[in-house]
Structure 1
Amino acid sequence: MKVLDLCCAHGHGFEGWFASEDDFQAQLSGGLLECPLCADRLISRRPSAPRLNLSGAREPAAAGTTAAAPPAPAAGAAAAAAGHQPPAALQALWLQAVKHVLDSTVDVGERFPEEVRRIHYGETEHRGIRGQATPEQRAELADEGIEVMALPMPAGLKGPVQ
């Protein structure tokens, strides 16, 4: 089993597990790989360090030295407070937000433009909905004063959310 570090054209990093290098190449050339965050299919392989299982092997400690204390967790909190979160943390927050949208809305599919109009004009009860709309349909809704937002759904979230 090969574990590869992959990246989409938008810079989202993720892992891929493949039976072999040939399996990875076949999936890549067949367009079967996509970013779990944005569904981009332009995937590239990032350099990665080999994973070695050295079981009980340890470096001997130099005489007269003491073990260093683990890094303080406040460093990460300070970076987050300053607005400089690592990409993995931002990706996790984005996925959490998408999961919240999925959990708190009803999927009306291709009927989205009609349903959102019915809600906007008071023909049906107000509720959170999601679905599909073309760019032209979104422009028509905006012309009517109905605000909608396109939210790309990664294929991994379209099924059961774990």
Structure 2
Amino acid sequence: MKVLDLLCDADHRFEGWFASEEDFQSQMERALVQCPMCGSAHIRKGLSAPRLNLRSLSKGTASARQGKAIEEAAPVPQQDVSNRPPPTPAELQSQLQDAWLRAARHVIANTENVGERFAQEARRIHYGDAPERGIRGQASAEETAELVEEGIDVMPFVLPDSLKETLQ
């Protein structure tokens, strides 16, 4: 298994898992690797730290198990955040990207996709003709403006194509 840190042309960072380097190259040639944030297929490798498989930890030796038990039982010391340096722009971008992806996954998991029927279904819910529930879908700018005029709350939220369907 090969785990790569990847970047798109908009510098969104994400992780890709491939069976081998050849598998990665094959998927790149077929434009199958896309950014989960923006859907771009212009992908390049980022710097990655190597994975270390330490024999003593992977075999579950007594000393490895004892070390893990000690780590789990040890209290976590309070950290003084006042002395922590401010996050770098790259760290902030990564945190923002992580938060946005979590929000997008939450929206997908907790709403029903009504597609092009969004405006119609939002009205039905608002006027009590359909059960109240979270929905998502597509609406034109004109439809969105009409919904707002009717007092129906809507929020534009662009979901990346990679999150709209399962990978399988």
| Structure 1, gaps ≥5 residues long | 57-71
TM-score (norm 1): 0.63
Give the corresponding residue for 1:41: 41
Give the corresponding residue for 1:68: none
After superposition, residues 68-147 of structure 1 pair within 5 angstroms as 73-75=79-81, 86-119=92-125, 122=127, 124-125=129-130, 126-131=132-137, 133=138, 137-146=139-148, 147=154
Q: Aligned pair in 2 of structure 1 residues 153, 20: CA closer, same or farther (>3 Å)?
A: same
Give the corresponding residue for 1:26: 26
Amino acid of the structure 2 residue aligned with 1:112: F
From the two aligned structures, give the one with the greater helix fraction: 2
Which whole-Å CA distance do the structure 2 matches of 1:117 and 1:102 have between them?
20
Q: Secondary structure at the match of 2:140?
A: helix
Task: Count matched residues.
Answer: 140
Give the deviation of 1:3 after TM superposition: 2.2
Which whole-Å CA distance do the structure 1 matches of 2:157 and 2:166 have between them?
19
Deviation per CA, 1:78-112, whole angstroms, max 9, x where unpaired?
A: 6679x995333323322221232223322212322
Which among 143, 156, 166 is matched to residue 149 of structure 1?
156
| Structure 2, gaps ≥5 residues long | 57-77, 149-153
